Amino acid sequence: MRDRSASGANMLSPRQAVRNIPSYHPPLAGRDGLRFDFNENTVGCSPLVLERLRRLSPEDLARYPEREPVETKVADFLGISAAELLLTNGVDEAIHLLCETYLEPGDEALIVVPTYSMYRIYMMAAAAQVIGVPAGENFTFPFEALKSRITARTRLIAIANPNNPTGTLATQEQVMKIARAAPEAAVLVDEAYFEFCGQTMRGKRRELPNLFVARTFSKAYGLAGLRIGALMGDAGQMRALRRVSSPYNVNAVALACLPEAIADQGYIQQYVSAVLASRARLERVLEAGGIEFWPSQANFVLARAGLTAADAAAFVEQMRRRGILVRDRSSDHGCEGCVRITLGPREHADRLLRALQESLHELGRSQGASQR
């Protein structure tokens, strides 16, 4: 039914599908302190990118951005043809475009729960029926359960690999089997955290025309503020996605910086190996402290700060008082009492672990957690 104003006149109203979407407000305001709450790079991008930013001219900004030349460079870097690649305004836009391209109202779209929030939002905006398949024990990828929910109406399956917020990984074989079992569905493998785990479906993609692989430059590359991601898929399917996408979806500053960012692989490798060392340190400390956590393949770790949502909130607050932001994930499926902690390099891990011990002590939960 259309909305009516108090006077009874017809009013503009969003589509029903849009009205059904729960509002999602990531806690971005007042993020003072060390930001270990959004899985961003905690130190920033390569100096080559900063150098390129300084060289931007007024003319660079006055012109509409030209995506194709940079797409060719990124495609070369990824070892695919430019026709198989679309640069997007972050992976978020890639998810949105897939929903717009493949979902009719009432179609079924599958996700694992818990997972990245934006899948559900864009699927709902397309008026799809979103089916959340609970993760297995210890948040393992629910391969059998997901496969069993594929029907003749399934048109999109989104798999974050590694998953956010759990850090767990589906195997290549599992993903291939899912994609084969749903040939009429677009299967998105969202590799936003690829650099921290090394497993990719990129090489397998050509075997399956319904498989899409997304990458972001928001995490390891430290460019979340520029909003840039890459979607890979079958050239024919990518043509359909290009019809939906704005020709100017990626801004000129991001396009100017991206070639510098991918050229500096030394910087990425150094950052990633520092983060992996910090992740191992945090996991050792959590283990020694008897704090439940899930071994992660990404740049964050999900840990149980307590049994209830109030325990998680109290821990987040204790950390915040010590200048460290971590993310409360209590409201995610199966995550009551859980927090997600992003890792940075050594000096950030030092500060994180110090604050962690003090916070646990304050909360009376310091059973032997010590810095390693």
Ligand X SMILES: Cc1ncc(COP(=O)(O)O)c(C=O)c1O
Which parts of this chain interact with ligand X (CB under 6 A)?
Answer: 39, 90-92, 116, 160, 164, 190, 192, 216, 218, 224, 229
CA pair distance 76, 60, nearest whole angstrom: 24
**In this structure, are residues 262 and 81 in contact, taking their beta carbons and an 8 Å threshold?**
no
Give first-to-last CA distance, the chain, whole Å.
61
Which residue, 39 or 237, is less far from ligand X as judged by CB?
Answer: 39
Furthest-apart CA pair in the chain: how many Å?
68
Closest CA to 111 of 160, 144, 148: 160
Which residue, 214 or 352, is less far from ligand X as judged by CB?
Answer: 214
The DSSP line for 33-83 is SEEESS---SS-S-HHHHHHHHT--HHHHHSPP--HHHHHHHHHHHTS-GG
Residue 364 CB contacts under 8 Å (≥ 6 apart), including other chains: none
The DSSP line for 198-248 is ---SGGGGGG-TTEEEEEESSSTT--GGG--EEEE--HHHHHHHHHHS-TT
Q: How far is the CB of 168 from ligand X (least distance, A)?
A: 12
Q: How far is the CB of 21 from ligand X (least distance, A)?
A: 17
Which residue, 83 or 224, is less far from ligand X as judged by CB?
Answer: 224
Q: How far is the CB of 296 from ligand X (least distance, A)?
A: 12
Q: How far is the CB of 60 from ligand X (least distance, A)?
A: 23
Which residue, 174 or 299, is less far from ligand X as judged by CB?
Answer: 299
Which residue, 36 or 116, is less far from ligand X as judged by CB?
Answer: 116
Residue 121 CB contacts under 8 Å (≥ 6 apart), including other chains: 21, 24
Cβ count near 366 (within 10 Å): 17
Which DSSP symbol is given to 282? Answer: H
- One-letter amino acid of 253: V
Q: How far is the CB of 2 from ligand X (least distance, A)?
A: 34
Could you give the 3-state DSSP secondary structure of residue 29?
Answer: coil
Which residue, 214 or 314, is less far from ligand X as judged by CB?
Answer: 214
CA pair distance 333, 172, nearest whole angstrom: 25
Q: How far is the CB of 283 from ligand X (least distance, A)?
A: 19
Which residue, 142 or 229, is less far from ligand X as judged by CB?
Answer: 229
Give strand ranges (E) for the chain: 34-36, 85-88, 108-113, 129-134, 154-160, 186-190, 211-216, 229-232, 293-294, 300-304, 324-328, 338-342
Which residue, 154 or 342, is less far from ligand X as judged by CB?
Answer: 342
Which residue, 91 or 211, is less far from ligand X as judged by CB?
Answer: 91
Q: How far is the CB of 349 from ligand X (least distance, A)?
A: 20
Q: How far is the CB of 93 from ligand X (least distance, A)?
A: 7
Which residue, 163 or 237, is less far from ligand X as judged by CB?
Answer: 163
Which DSSP symbol is given to 10? Answer: B
| Phi, psi for 339 (deg, rounded to 5) | -130, 150
> Which residue's CB atom is positioned nearest to ligand X?
90
Q: How far is the CB of 11 from ligand X (least distance, A)?
A: 33
User: For residue 114, is the peptide bond before it cis, meaning its omega torsion is within 30 degrees of 0?
Assistant: yes
In which order are the strands placed within the sheet that holds 186-190?
85-88, 229-232, 211-216, 186-190, 154-160, 108-113, 129-134
Q: How far is the CB of 154 from ligand X (least distance, A)?
A: 20
